[in-house]
Amino acid sequence: MNPTPADRPAFRPEPPDLLAGRGIALGVSGSIAAYKALALTSGLVQAGARVDVILTQAATELLRPLAFQALTHRPVVGDLWAPGSELAMDHLAIAQRAELLLVAPATADRLSRLALGLAGDALDTTALASTAPLVLAPAMEPNMWAHPAIQAHVASLTARGAHFVGPWEGRLASGKLGLGRMAEPETILDHLRWLLARQGDLAGRSILITAGPTREPLDPLRFLSNRSTGSMGFALARVARDRGARVTLIHGPVAQDAPVGVATVPVERALDMQAAVLDLAPACDALIMSAAVADYRPAAPSERKIKKQPGDLRLELSRNPDILGSLAEALAEGSGPPPYRVGFAAETEDLETNGRAKLQRKGLDLVVANRVPASFGAGEHEVLLLTPDASEALQGASKLAVAAAILDRVSQALGASPGTGTDVSVPRSERA
């Protein structure tokens, strides 16, 4: 069958942020880390969430409710007992409309109160009255965090399904180093997305993604590599996670953090990436190879630093294996259905012809042909999605938008997700 030619390039918008339109109640308790709650609030608002902020009495000693009100454009519960504070009295309505209850920072006192189910202030009562998942970002001195009393409360909250983000190791306000820093707002936001991400057309699917460059050592200090940032693979991981997939990301050295909830396998050389892919691919539903794998590696990497010599130095390079090619052979020998396989092709011209040749040569189900240098590292892309029987052209699309289009194809090919049709809300066992 002749493939359907690509129509005029379609503009593909970015997928919406999972936090957009969601009701988030943010409880702020009285740790000096409360200053980060402002950045968190701002991040939530920018992501499109409806944020109801509840400050504890101690938090109002550190930050004024007005600061949060200015960010959320909504009333803030600052003092439950303030005279005439009719809005404050309405805080139970917050418990009802919250889809997630986040406490950040959560002090030792607040964790203890929540674990015991105390009902002494607006945040306590909101937590008791809400059936929404509870997310806690602790912040306290390392000795307090390590104390058996606090650890017992952490265990009891965890057993009731509360989600902890952090604390992290690092410098604390006291100047000490240790475990007790509040997680950074960006990580907390992404944790919330992950909790909201269980529904979606890829729920129950397992997707393996490769990303970034490989690094081929010359000696202990030097290597050959390329300029890949890994952004495409990380965008794919985020969108697949947001659509409910279980995602594993095999990545070369990159300067970005994986989305929360995505399992990572860091590798260096093409040979390491190949071993990881061959190990994990047979058990996944789809493999998306967005990594820029080095075609060659130094034939004989030196165990010692190569010293400068007078004159030129010649390097001998060996061909790296083609990972997708070797996978086709490995899968042919194995049992079970092969994963849906997606490869990338960076082309300067003849995207369709060259992409189709790659589709066949590498035994792929989908090739994402990118026009370079137009797409290289830029925020806008010109890509062709090539399957054996169709072509789809996208233009002006961001990496997240391209990722969404690729995952549409994957999702269609995999058919009805084993997760759809069942209860897609956050499982009860995960509610505190």
Contact set with ligand C5P (CB under 6 A): 270, 289, 291, 293, 295, 320, 322-324, 343-345, 358
Please tell me the total number of residues recorded for the chain in this structure: 432
Structure token digits, residue 72: 């959320």
Structure token digits, residue 126: 């909101």
For 64, 199, 250, 325, the CA distances from 419, given in Å and listed in that order, are 44, 8, 24, 31
Structure token digits, residue 244: 């409910």
CA–CA gap between residue 345 and residue 359 (Å, rounded): 9
Q: Do 145 and 167 form a contact (C-beta atoms < 8 A)?
A: yes
Please, which residue, 47 or 254, has the CB nearer to ligand C5P?
A: 254
Please, which residue, 28 or 250, has the CB nearer to ligand C5P?
A: 250
For 64, 327, 412, the CA distances from 385, given in Å and listed in that order, are 52, 21, 14
Q: Do 54 and 77 form a contact (C-beta atoms < 8 A)?
A: yes
Q: Shortest Cβ distance from residue 301 to ligand C5P (Å)?
A: 18
Q: Shortest Cβ distance from residue 254 to ligand C5P (Å)?
A: 14
Please, which residue, 15 or 343, has the CB nearer to ligand C5P?
A: 343
Q: Do 50 and 22 form a contact (C-beta atoms < 8 A)?
A: yes
Using alpha carbons only, give the angle 180, 181, 183 rounded to the nearest 5 degrees: 125
Q: Shortest Cβ distance from residue 263 to ligand C5P (Å)?
A: 19
Please, which residue, 25 or 250, has the CB nearer to ligand C5P?
A: 250
Please, which residue, 198 or 251, has the CB nearer to ligand C5P?
A: 251
Q: Shortest Cβ distance from residue 326 to ligand C5P (Å)?
A: 8
Q: Do 191 and 135 form a contact (C-beta atoms < 8 A)?
A: yes
Q: Do 167 and 182 form a contact (C-beta atoms < 8 A)?
A: yes
Taking alpha carbons only, the member of 411, 408, 379, 407 closest to residue 395 is 379
Q: Do 44 and 26 form a contact (C-beta atoms < 8 A)?
A: yes
User: Is residue 226 annotated as part of the catalytic site, yes or no?
Assistant: yes
The alpha carbon of residue 419 and the mean position of all alpha carbons in its chain are separated, in whole angstroms, by 20
- Residue 285: CB atoms within 10 A of its CB come to 20
Please, which residue, 98 or 293, has the CB nearer to ligand C5P?
A: 293
Q: Shortest Cβ distance from residue 358 to ligand C5P (Å)?
A: 6
For residue 405, give the H/E element and its range. Answer: helix 399-414
Catalytic, out of 2, 143, 226, 370: 226
Q: Shortest Cβ distance from residue 177 to ligand C5P (Å)?
A: 40
Using alpha carbons only, give the angle 319, 325, 330 rounded to the nearest 5 degrees: 115
Please, which residue, 138 or 298, has the CB nearer to ligand C5P?
A: 298
Taking alpha carbons only, the member of 327, 323, 262 closest to residue 291 is 323
Q: Shortest Cβ distance from residue 408 to ligand C5P (Å)?
A: 18
Catalytic site residues? 226
